[in-house]
């Protein structure tokens, strides 16, 4: 029970990595506040957690809005008395080359993928200080340090998360708050499946993507959730300002 007696917020908990992490955190003893903009999806996540005898509360939030994020943190403290863990995971992805990226696309991606993390930390950190410390886990990406010409705005936001993570870790380490980030490659989420399904040969392209990985597969959401659990727990008590790559060997080669 790596998170016994801890209270954790997980954003983007309606599907994919967020859902897997909310479930795993609850299995490991945390009282989980599951957060998503999609009320139906996040309610389903909470029902799944409760059906296995664990503790969770749903919170319908747009992480790009300060009043929503403040309410998210307030919900955790009011429901469970404290806040120990924040997993900033919620994100949006819009594919477009640089000159085809509209200002609206850029603003939408950065409002969720970067501003949303800032707001999460802004409101969570004071609550964690009152608790005596805590752990913040930010979801970055392998695209923070390698380029994809079809995901320019997304990659820029994910690169920003690394710099943001380091600054937050240095600033609040004296308050016993650790801040780390995760950099995964492709993950087998509904979002990725939708992308594969949009192509002329989904199965063929999926195998082509798999061939780029040393392990000849992409990550499952639970693979990433296990790392998030480690960083959230006291098992990583001397880790902060770290960028942890979990990409099945994708970025280890030149060609």
84 near 130, Cβ under 8 Å?
no
41 near 67, Cβ under 8 Å?
no
Q: How far is CA 150 from CA 127, 142, 143, 251, in A?
A: 38, 14, 11, 18
Q: Where are the alpha helices (DSSP H) in 11-151?
A: 16-27, 39-51, 66-80, 103-113, 115-131
Separation of alpha carbons 76 and 105, rounded Å: 31
Catalytic residue among 80, 154, 210, 255: 154
Catalytic residue flag (residue 255): no
User: CB neighbours (10 Å) of residue 111?
Assistant: 17
β-strand pairing of 85-88 with 56-60: unpaired
Catalytic positions, written as ranges: 154
């Amino acid at each position: 029970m790596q998170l016994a007696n801890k209270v954790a917020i997980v954003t983007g908990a309606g599907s994919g990595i967020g859902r897997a992490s909310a479930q795993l955190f609850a299995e490991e003893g945390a009282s989980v506040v599951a957060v998503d903009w999609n009320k139906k999806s996040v309610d389903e996540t909470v029902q799944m957690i409760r059906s296995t005898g664990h503790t969770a509360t749903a919170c319908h939030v747009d992480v790009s809005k300060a009043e929503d994020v403040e309410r998210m943190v307030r919900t955790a403290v009011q429901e469970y008395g404290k806040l120990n863990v924040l997993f900033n995971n919620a994100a949006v992805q819009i594919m477009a080359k640089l000159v085809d990226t509209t200002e609206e696309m850029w603003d939408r991606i950065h409002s969720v993928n970067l501003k949303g993390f800032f707001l999460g930390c802004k409101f969570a950190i004071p609550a964690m200080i009152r608790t005596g410390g805590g752990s913040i886990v930010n979801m970055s990406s392998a695209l923070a340090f390698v380029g994809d010409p079809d995901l320019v705005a997304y990659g820029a936001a994910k690169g920003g998360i690394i710099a943001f993570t380091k600054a937050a870790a240095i600033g609040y380490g004296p308050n016993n708050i650790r801040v780390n980030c995760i950099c995964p490659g492709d993950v087998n989420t509904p979002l990725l499946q939708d992308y594969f399904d949009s192509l002329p040969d989904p199965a063929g392209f999926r195998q082509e993507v798999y061939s780029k990985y040393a392990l000849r597969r992409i990550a499952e959401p639970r693979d990433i959730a296990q790392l998030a659990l480690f960083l959230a727990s006291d098992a990583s008590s001397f880790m902060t300002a770290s960028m942890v790559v979990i990409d099945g060997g994708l970025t280890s080669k030149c060609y």
